Structure 1
Amino acid sequence: MTELELKFIVPAACLDSLRQDLLGRGALAVRMRAHYFDTADMALARHRAALRLRLEGRHWVQTLKAAGAGAVHRLEHEVRVPGRPSERPALDPARHAGSPAAAGLAAALADAADPALTELHATEVLRLQLQLQDAEGTQIEAALDTGHAHAAGRQDALQELELEHKGGPLAGLFELAIACVRHGGLWQSTLTKAERGLRLHLGQTGLRAAPHRPAQAAAAAPPAAVLRACLQAVLTPLLAHSSELAGRAPATAGAPTVPGFDAVAAALGADLSRLGALLRCLQDDRSPEVAGWQAQARALQGLARAHRHHPDALGATARSTGLQVLLLQLQQRAHAGDDAFAAASALPPATWRRRRAALVKAGLLLG
């Protein structure tokens, strides 16, 4: 199966009210303990895959996740594993044979110096889980996780809200997410529990810049497919860098600059520049929405440039409602149908060829 999930960091000031709101709507509480496995040289992490055994209440579940189409879309396969709650069952990668995610696991293990899998980190959380359905039929699973990740004697607190699309129109998922950002003070993070645990295992405390990889599309690919791929290629590092900056702790007086900050700050500016170039290629869409995105991208690029040497100010920009809502609206467009790119699809062939060449020149698309 595939998973389309939006994850948000819940600030301490919002946690209690969110918890009470979920409980008031009938959320169920379940304790979870997850054990994450990888090779000694962390081949699964390099391939954006994760393999875990998790105790959910009194039942063990083995889950494999692998990279999907975009930053918030993943391949997922779960298997219920028999066993007593007090004894962790043996991990068996073969349980995922034949699933869509299995190819990602096989590629990772083939890339490992030694394919043996060992536990590297774990999480313990209390989850409040609620099934939602809006008037348009969108089905969403909301899960508030509070607890911690731990590895190598280190701990990291977890306060996350996950919104997973379970069925119906996708628009409802993003509308709920935008409401959470606007009224709850939450911000989106694409840093997974597996990634946070791995950083604990390695003792990494700095920020990490993500590479930009231009989209790939066949020469005969329709405009909608090309633009969707370019938008995903822009959003993936942009979401990663905004997550890094938003999640960093405020600096204390006299503290040194966080390692990696300069590289991530520069990368965020480059991401916003590429976003501006892509939005110019959508200028045939006369909707006020696209014009608003262009104005927001320019304003945010200016803020990123002004704050590139000021970690606290740039972190506040990354958490800002303006950037968070923009990112969610763009993700909604990236996961929408071809009609979301109808204006580009209606361009004369010669005009579209020039537009595609501009995408290549801007580094958004491989030639």
Structure 2
Amino acid sequence: MDKEIELKLGIQDEQTMRALLSDDSILGNKARTIHLRATYYDTQDLLLANSRIGLRLRREDEDIVATLKYGGGVVDGLHTRIEINKKKDDFNLSLADFPKERGMLEEVLGSKELVPLIETDIFRHVRQIEYKDSVLECALDEGIVRANNRSVNIRELEVELIKGSIEALESFTKNELLDYHLVPEDLSKLARGIELVHMKS
């Protein structure tokens, strides 16, 4: 079980995105690119989402990873939550993937069936950086979220605290990102997908 702490920032235009990609203090030529294709699962009446739980399967290039996120909150784009990841051999989700949390999930779900509700298709440009005795991961995501026969484009920068202090994360944001005029983003990709689910035909 790990606590995820990350700052999510919206990128306003293509020019800013390209500048971030070429900035060696943030991404630059040391960044690698990963193709992420995820499916988020919930009941038709969103029992998991209403309990602030996210459950997904994701292809990360050739790997398959099941992820459970819950708890925490978000303030001014700073997201904190519990995150559990498990590598899998196939693209089939099971509550047994999360044995310690299975009871919690079964209590929330009751007799309701999990169904695939939201899909994302993202190219992630990612790099880890040592900064002020801490380790940060910068990830620029560009792609699309699909649900309910609708879609929304994604263009955002995530800065995750891998090891160290949240003060280092805040300092990096202030000193390295200020000139890019990025906007704190409180909505996760899952939350954007849920907005699409709620839209009427």
TM-score (norm 1): 0.50
Greater share of helix: 1
2:188 matches 1:192 = yes
Q: 1:119 aligns with which of 106, 116, 124?
A: 116
On the 8 A contact 1:180/1:186 being kept in 2, the answer is: no
Match of 2:128 in 1: 131
Alignment RMSD (CA, Å): 1.8
On the 8 A contact 1:47/1:104 being kept in 2, the answer is: no
Q: 1:105 to 1:5 in 2, by over 3 A?
A: farther
On the 8 A contact 1:141/1:166 being kept in 2, the answer is: yes
Q: CA deviation at 1:189?
A: 1.1
On the 8 A contact 1:121/1:149 being kept in 2, the answer is: yes
What is the DSSP-based 3-state SS (H/G/I as helix, E as strand, rest coil) of the residue aligned with 1:41? Answer: coil
Structure 2: runs of 5+ lacking an equivalent: none
Q: 1:69 to 1:152 in 2, by over 3 A?
A: closer
Match of 1:105 in 2: 105
What is the DSSP-based 3-state SS (H/G/I as helix, E as strand, rest coil) of the residue aligned with 1:190? Answer: coil
Q: 1:70 to 1:201 in 2, by over 3 A?
A: closer
Q: 2:36 aligns with which of 32, 38, 53?
A: 32
2:51 matches 1:47 = yes
2:75 matches 1:78 = no
Match of 1:159 in 2: 155
The AA in structure 2 aligned to 1:188 is P
Map 1:169-188 to 2 at 5 A. Answer: 169-179=165-175, 181-188=177-184
Deviations 1:215-259 (A, max 9, x none): xxxxxxxxxxxxxxxxxxxxxxxxxxxxxxxxxxxxxxxxxxxxx
Deviations 1:295-349 (A, max 9, x none): xxxxxxxxxxxxxxxxxxxxxxxxxxxxxxxxxxxxxxxxxxxxxxxxxxxxxxx
Match of 1:305 in 2: none
The AA in structure 2 aligned to 1:93 is L
What is the DSSP-based 3-state SS (H/G/I as helix, E as strand, rest coil) of the residue aligned with 1:200? Answer: helix
Q: CA deviation at 1:152?
A: 2.2
What is the DSSP-based 3-state SS (H/G/I as helix, E as strand, rest coil) of the residue aligned with 2:109? Answer: helix
The AA in structure 1 aligned to 2:133 is G
On the 8 A contact 1:66/1:104 being kept in 2, the answer is: no
Deviant stretches of 4+, over 4 Å: none
Q: CA deviation at 1:170?
A: 2.0
Match of 2:145 in 1: 149
The percent of aligned pairs where both chains have the same amino acid is 30
Q: CA deviation at 1:70?
A: 5.5
On the 8 A contact 1:10/1:187 being kept in 2, the answer is: yes
The AA in structure 1 aligned to 2:97 is R
Match of 2:18 in 1: 16
Q: CA deviation at 1:107?
A: 4.4
Map 1:1-367 to 2 at 5 A. Answer: 1-12=2-13, 13-21=15-23, 22-68=26-72, 71=75, 72-83=79-90, 89-99=91-101, 105-110=105-110, 114-134=111-131, 136-179=132-175, 181-203=177-199
The AA in structure 2 aligned to 1:105 is L
Structure 1: runs of 5+ lacking an equivalent: 84-88, 205-367
Q: CA deviation at 1:182?
A: 2.0
On the 8 A contact 2:34/2:61 being kept in 1, the answer is: yes
Higher relative CO (Cα under 8 Å, sequence separation at least 6) belongs to 2
What is the DSSP-based 3-state SS (H/G/I as helix, E as strand, rest coil) of the residue aligned with 1:68? Answer: strand
TM-score (norm 2): 0.89
Q: CA deviation at 1:109?
A: 1.7
